[in-house]
């Protein structure tokens, strides 16, 4: 699996997890959902993704986007 797919998989997991936590515990978890969404939006425009940098440092194979 390359960095591109991992970024999407991890972001999707974080969003679904935070939505489940907001439903079960507190609506404050929706701020985490907003953070992940805002990070994805800024990465679309700037090309900078902190998670992609971390995964690259861990030696994960690069994809086309990052």
Q: In a structure prediction context, what are the per-residue pLDDT tens digits for the chain, which is 66 residues long?
A: 899 999 999 999 999 999 999 999 999 999 999 999 999 999 999 999 999 999 999 999 988 875
Local structure of 66: helix, strand or coil: coil
**Within a domain: 63:** no
**Within a domain: 13:** yes
CA distance 58 to 56: 5
Q: How many other C-beta atoms lie within 10 A of the C-beta of residue 12?
A: 12
Q: Which domain holds residue 34?
A: 3-57
User: pLDDT value at position 66?
Assistant: 59
Predicted TM-score (pTM) of this structure = 0.85
**Within a domain: 52:** yes
Can you tell me which residue has the tokens 């425009």? Answer: 45
User: pLDDT value at position 53?
Assistant: 93
Structure tokens, 32: 């985490």
User: pLDDT value at position 15?
Assistant: 96
């Amino acid at each position: 699996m390359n960095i591109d797919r991992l970024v999407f998989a991890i972001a999707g997991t974080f969003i679904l997890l935070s939505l489940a936590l907001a439903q079960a515990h507190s609506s404050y978890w929706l701020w985490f959902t907003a953070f992940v969404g805002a990070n994805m939006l800024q990465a679309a425009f700037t090309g900078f993704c902190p998670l992609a940098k971390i995964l690259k440092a861990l030696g994960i194979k690069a994809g086309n986007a990052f």
